Amino acid sequence: QLQLQESGPGLVKPSETLSLSCTVSGGSISSSHYHWGWLRQSPGKGLEWIGSVYNSGNTFYNPSLKSRVTISVDSSKNQVSLRLTSVTAADTAVYYCTKVISFYFYMDVWGKGTTVAVSS
Protein backbone atom coordinates (compact mmCIF):
# COMPACT_ATOMS: atom_id res chain seq x y z
CA GLN A 1 0.00 0.00 0.00
CA LEU A 2 1.54 3.27 -1.14
CA GLN A 3 2.09 5.77 1.67
CA LEU A 4 3.16 9.40 1.78
CA GLN A 5 5.03 11.19 4.56
CA GLU A 6 5.62 14.92 4.58
CA SER A 7 8.60 16.42 6.38
CA GLY A 8 10.13 19.82 6.90
CA PRO A 9 10.52 22.67 9.38
CA GLY A 10 7.47 23.50 11.45
CA LEU A 11 8.43 27.17 11.73
CA VAL A 12 9.55 29.54 9.00
CA LYS A 13 10.33 33.24 9.33
CA PRO A 14 8.48 35.81 7.22
CA SER A 15 10.11 36.51 3.83
CA GLU A 16 12.06 33.25 3.97
CA THR A 17 11.56 30.08 1.90
CA LEU A 18 9.42 27.14 2.97
CA SER A 19 10.81 23.78 1.82
CA LEU A 20 8.95 20.51 2.33
CA SER A 21 9.59 16.96 1.21
CA CYS A 22 7.18 14.10 0.67
CA THR A 23 8.62 10.59 0.83
CA VAL A 24 6.81 7.94 -1.18
CA SER A 25 6.93 4.39 0.16
CA GLY A 26 5.25 1.11 -0.71
CA GLY A 27 4.96 1.89 -4.40
CA SER A 28 6.58 3.45 -7.42
CA ILE A 29 7.04 7.20 -7.65
CA SER A 30 6.98 6.93 -11.44
CA SER A 31 3.80 5.94 -13.24
CA SER A 32 1.76 7.10 -16.18
CA HIS A 33 -1.41 6.46 -14.18
CA TYR A 34 -0.85 8.98 -11.43
CA HIS A 35 0.99 12.15 -10.53
CA TRP A 36 1.66 14.18 -7.40
CA GLY A 37 0.09 17.20 -5.81
CA TRP A 38 0.51 19.54 -2.87
CA LEU A 39 -2.43 21.09 -1.06
CA ARG A 40 -2.75 23.15 2.09
CA GLN A 41 -5.34 24.03 4.68
CA SER A 42 -5.09 27.20 6.73
CA PRO A 43 -6.30 27.06 10.35
CA GLY A 44 -10.07 26.70 10.42
CA LYS A 45 -10.29 27.07 6.65
CA GLY A 46 -10.88 24.94 3.59
CA LEU A 47 -8.54 23.11 1.26
CA GLU A 48 -6.43 24.91 -1.33
CA TRP A 49 -4.63 23.29 -4.26
CA ILE A 50 -1.03 24.50 -4.53
CA GLY A 51 0.20 22.63 -7.57
CA SER A 52 0.88 19.33 -9.31
CA VAL A 53 3.84 17.61 -10.91
CA TYR A 54 3.73 14.82 -13.47
CA ASN A 55 6.42 12.20 -13.85
CA SER A 56 7.35 13.85 -17.14
CA GLY A 57 8.42 16.85 -15.07
CA ASN A 58 5.51 19.00 -16.23
CA THR A 59 4.16 21.21 -13.49
CA PHE A 60 0.94 23.13 -12.95
CA TYR A 61 0.50 25.72 -10.23
CA ASN A 62 -2.33 27.62 -8.61
CA PRO A 63 -2.23 31.03 -10.35
CA SER A 64 -2.43 32.80 -6.99
CA LEU A 65 0.85 31.15 -5.89
CA LYS A 66 2.58 30.55 -9.20
CA SER A 67 5.24 33.25 -8.83
CA ARG A 68 6.43 31.74 -5.52
CA VAL A 69 6.01 27.97 -5.95
CA THR A 70 8.23 25.20 -7.27
CA ILE A 71 7.25 21.51 -7.15
CA SER A 72 9.59 18.76 -8.28
CA VAL A 73 10.10 15.01 -8.23
CA ASP A 74 13.36 13.27 -7.30
CA SER A 75 12.98 9.65 -8.39
CA SER A 76 16.36 8.64 -6.94
CA LYS A 77 15.14 9.63 -3.46
CA ASN A 78 11.48 8.68 -3.97
CA GLN A 79 10.55 12.23 -2.97
CA VAL A 80 8.27 15.01 -4.12
CA SER A 81 9.33 18.48 -3.03
CA LEU A 82 7.58 21.78 -2.45
CA ARG A 83 9.32 25.13 -2.31
CA LEU A 84 7.44 28.32 -1.48
CA THR A 85 9.37 31.59 -1.40
CA SER A 86 8.75 34.92 0.36
CA VAL A 87 6.34 33.44 2.88
CA THR A 88 4.00 35.51 5.04
CA ALA A 89 1.66 34.70 7.90
CA ALA A 90 -0.98 33.86 5.28
CA ASP A 91 1.08 30.80 4.34
CA THR A 92 0.61 29.29 7.80
CA ALA A 93 -1.20 26.01 7.17
CA VAL A 94 -1.17 22.24 7.23
CA TYR A 95 0.51 21.12 4.01
CA TYR A 96 -0.55 17.84 2.40
CA CYS A 97 1.19 15.73 -0.21
CA THR A 98 -1.18 13.71 -2.38
CA LYS A 99 -1.17 11.07 -5.09
CA VAL A 100 -3.49 12.09 -7.91
CA ILE A 101 -5.12 9.60 -10.26
CA SER A 102 -4.42 11.19 -13.62
CA PHE A 103 -7.36 9.84 -15.62
CA TYR A 104 -9.97 11.02 -13.13
CA PHE A 105 -8.15 13.93 -11.48
CA TYR A 106 -8.77 12.97 -7.88
CA MET A 107 -6.53 12.53 -4.84
CA ASP A 108 -6.68 8.92 -3.68
CA VAL A 109 -3.77 8.86 -1.21
CA TRP A 110 -2.90 11.63 1.23
CA GLY A 111 -0.02 12.14 3.59
CA LYS A 112 -0.84 12.88 7.22
CA GLY A 113 0.07 16.51 6.62
CA THR A 114 2.69 18.72 8.20
CA THR A 115 1.96 21.95 10.05
CA VAL A 116 3.97 25.00 9.06
CA ALA A 117 3.76 28.26 10.96
CA VAL A 118 5.18 31.49 9.58
CA SER A 119 6.32 33.70 12.41
CA SER A 120 9.32 35.71 13.50
Partner 1 sequence: QSALTQPASVSGSPGQSITISCTGTSSDVGGYDFVSWYQQYPGKTPKVMIYAVRNRPSGVSNRFSGSKSGNTASLTISGLQAEDEADYYCTSYTSSITPLYVFGTGTKVTVL
> What is the closest distance, in whole angstroms, from the C-beta atom of residue 22 to partner 1 in the complex?
13
CB under 8 A: which stretch of 7-15, 26-34, 56-64, 69-77 binds partner 1?
56-64
Three-state secondary structure of the chain: CCEEEEECCCEECCCCCEEEEEEEECCCCCCCCEEEEEEEECCCCCEEEEEEECCCCCEEECCCCCCCEEEEEECCCCEEEEEECCCCHHHCEEEEEEEEECCCCEEEEECCCEEEEECC
| Using rule CB under 8 A, residue 64 touches partner 1 | yes
Interface ranges with partner 1 (CB under 8 A) = 37, 46-49, 52, 60-64, 96, 101, 104-108, 110-113
